[in-house]
């Protein structure tokens, strides 16, 4: 590992003061420490932000939650208000990584983790995300994990997070502070498309710090769930994943939220499917038509065409499960 | 160099470390706690699992400076003198090891698992150990050992 200077911020203002000049914020470090070790990235200075607060979950009036950026993944997954109101988020958290990593990893850090594309992590191979302008090795190489939505020859990588798929589906809002002041950024607008330039994952500016993630309340009676499909039963990144929330009243869909993971450069919000679902019957035929409306825009390649039927089956199973759950209550 | 204060297995240590030093290397090379092993060195296998303030972490994935001001418990710090921790005893009784290399991490993660969920099902045990790889594939007896330890009340439960 290349040497770096280690600093510790005492509060948010101090963290911002220490940003710049080759500084990188260090939270749990579960992804960053690996990258420093692999040489995927280097840093002049690490600014440890784990002792600046921002480590609480606050219940907002109306049923929403404000999650501090430094709340650990394991603490958030175990939080009673989250498990009660947002099971899709708790399930997504527990689908990710392992117990040890969830004990270290933070909410904000999860949002900023980098792709696990094998070429991004292999410093001997060209990768424009790691080394801008060097091209995409995944285009003609090992391509089974590649994106199928919003694809671009500039970068075929997919976003690796489980949590973020749930957060985009729920219209979570990321609160930040930085050199230009405070901002609120919808999760659906935080990430860049591959065609926008894959060198940078998000629209955050240098020195900007995530302070909280807000979860707006879901309508009472809404059911939500997360399902992840991988090449083995546990401890792997998603081949595909589905985050869904469904509000069904008298057999008709009043509200539907759908996020897909493992299929796009950013956590993907399936708005075409949502539009097709809302107002329609909560039955298998309507669900299939809605998912197919979204999948019509998928652009699988030579090696990852299997993602399309796997995603279709997974999404339909999740929606059917939520509709059943609602009908039984 | 950065000065750190870390309590390791109940003993306070003050040391000068390079910021890039991993916690596992600090524990093994500076503190001498070689019971914690380096397995894959890529934060995959879990052999290096220790507790940081009572919760399991992979010590090859944590910088020593991140542990400053905190308490680390290794596999060498859980026995009471010559009396094994109930999880160690259960691994012994159930022959929950083959080559033994993954054992320190398996035991530390199993204790964390029962702290979270004192009465886990077999499926919950297998998922709770998902971040620990046994290259000998000796998982079956490891699961039995965790079940025995749960029955013995590790984590505060009474077993199923």
d(CA A114, CA A121): 9
Query: ipTM, 2 decimals?
Result: 0.96
The model's confidence at residue B157, banded by pLDDT at 50, 70 and 90, is low
Task: Find out whether A170 and A215 touch, Cβ atoms under 8 Å.
Answer: yes
pLDDT (0 to 100) of residue B155: 85
- H/E stretch holding A23: strand A23-26
Handedness of CA A192, A193, A194, A197 (dihedral sign): negative
Answer yes or no: CATH 3.10.20.30 is held by domain B2-77: yes
Nearest to A234 among B57, B66, B127 (CB): B127
Average pLDDT of span A216-238: 95
Instruction: For B83-121, write each residue's pLDDT tens digit.
Output: 999 999 999 999 999 999 999 999 999 999 999 999 999
- Average pLDDT of the residues in B40-46: 89
The pLDDT tens digits for A243-301 are: 999 999 999 999 999 999 999 999 999 999 999 999 999 999 999 999 999 999 999 99
Check CB contact under 8 Å for A34 and B61.
Answer: yes
Is domain A1-53 annotated with CATH 3.40.190.10?
Answer: no
pLDDT for A308 equals 98
Tell if the CB–CB gap between B131 and A36 is shorter than 8 Å. Answer: no
Q: Do B56 and A1 touch (CB under 8 A)?
A: no
User: Is the pTM for the entire model greater than 0.95?
Assistant: yes
Residue B158's pLDDT is what? 52
Is A4 within 8 Å of B63 when comparing Cβ atoms? Answer: no
Spans of all domains in chain B = 2-77, 86-151
The residue to which tokens 């596992």 are assigned: B24
Q: How far apart are CA A239 and CA A230, in angstroms?
A: 5
**CATH topology for the B86-151 domain:** DNA polymerase; domain 1 (1.10.150)
Q: What is the pLDDT of residues A87-136, one digit of tens each?
A: 999 999 999 999 999 999 999 999 999 999 999 999 999 999 999 999 99
All CATH 3.30.390.50 domain ranges of chain A, comma separated, are 223-328
**Contact between chains at A3 and B131 (C-beta distance less than 8 A):** no
Quote the CA–CA distance of A136 and A148 in Å, as a whole number: 15
Percent above pLDDT 90 for chain B: 93
CATH number (3.30.390.50, 1.10.287.130, 1.10.600.10, 3.20.190.10) of A223-328 reads 3.30.390.50
> Which chain A residue shows the shortest CA-CA distance from B125?
A99
Which residue in A5, A37, A100 has the most chain B C-beta atoms within 10 A of its own C-beta, making it the best mutation to test that interface? Answer: A100
Determine the Cα angle at A322 with ends A320 and A323, to 5°.
65
């Amino acid at each position: 590992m290349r040497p770096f200077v280690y600093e510790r911020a005492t509060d948010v203002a101090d963290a911002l003061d220490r940003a710049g000049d080759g500084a990188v914020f260090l939270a749990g470090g579960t992804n960053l420490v690996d990258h420093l070790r692999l040489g995927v990235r280097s840093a002049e200075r690490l600014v440890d932000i784990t002792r600046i607060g921002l480590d609480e979950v606050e219940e907002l009036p109306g049923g929403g939650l404000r999650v501090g950026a430094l709340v650990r993944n394991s603490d958030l997954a175990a939080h009673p208000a989250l498990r009660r109101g947002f099971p899709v988020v708790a399930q997504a958290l527990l689908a990710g990584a392992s117990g040890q990593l969830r004990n270290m990893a933070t909410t904000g850090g999860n949002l900023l983790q980098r792709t696990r594309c094998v070429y991004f992590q292999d410093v001997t191979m060209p990768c424009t995300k790691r080394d801008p302008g060097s091209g995409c090795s995944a285009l003609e190489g090992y391509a089974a994990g590649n994106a199928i939505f919003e694809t671009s020859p500039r970068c075929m990588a997919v976003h690796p997070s489980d949590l973020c798929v749930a957060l985009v589906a729920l219209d979570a809002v990321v609160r930040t502070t930085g050199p230009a002041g405070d901002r609120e950024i919808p999760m659906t607008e935080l990430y860049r498309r591959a065609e926008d330039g894959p060198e940078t994952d998000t629209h955050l500016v240098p020195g900007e710090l995530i302070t909280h993630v807000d979860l707006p309340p879901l309508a009472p009676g809404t059911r939500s769930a997360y399902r992840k499909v991988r090449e083995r039963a546990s401890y792997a990144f998603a081949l595909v994943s589905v985050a869904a929330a469904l509000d069904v009243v008298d057999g008709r869909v009043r509200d539907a939220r759908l996020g897909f993971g493992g299929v796009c450069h950013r956590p993907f919000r399936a708005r075409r499917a949502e539009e097709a679902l809302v107002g329609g019957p909560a039955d298998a035929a309507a669900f299939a038509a809605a998912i197919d409306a979204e999948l019509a825009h998928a652009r699988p390649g030579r090696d990852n065409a299997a993602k399309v039927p796997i995603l279709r089956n997974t999404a339909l199973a999740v929606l059917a499960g939520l509709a059943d759950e609602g009908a039984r209550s | 160099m950065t000065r750190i204060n870390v309590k390791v297995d109940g003993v306070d240590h003050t040391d000068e470390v390079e910021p890039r030093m991993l916690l596992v290397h600090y524990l093994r090379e500076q503190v001498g706690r070689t019971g914690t092993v380096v397995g894959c060195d890529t934060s995959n296998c879990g052999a290096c699992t220790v507790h940081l303030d009572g919760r399991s972490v992979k010590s090859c994935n944590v910088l020593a400076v991140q542990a400053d001001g905190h308490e680390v418990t290794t596999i060498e710090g859980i026995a009471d003198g010559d009396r094994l921790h109930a999880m160690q005893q259960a691994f012994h009784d159930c022959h929950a090891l083959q080559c033994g290399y993954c054992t320190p991490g398996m035991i530390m993660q199993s204790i964390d698992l029962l702290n979270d969920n004192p009465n886990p099902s077999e499926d919950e045990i297998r998922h709770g150990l998902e971040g620990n790889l046994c290259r000998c594939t000796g998982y079956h007896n490891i699961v039995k050992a965790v079940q025995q330890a749960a029955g013995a009340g590790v984590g505060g439960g009474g077993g199923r």
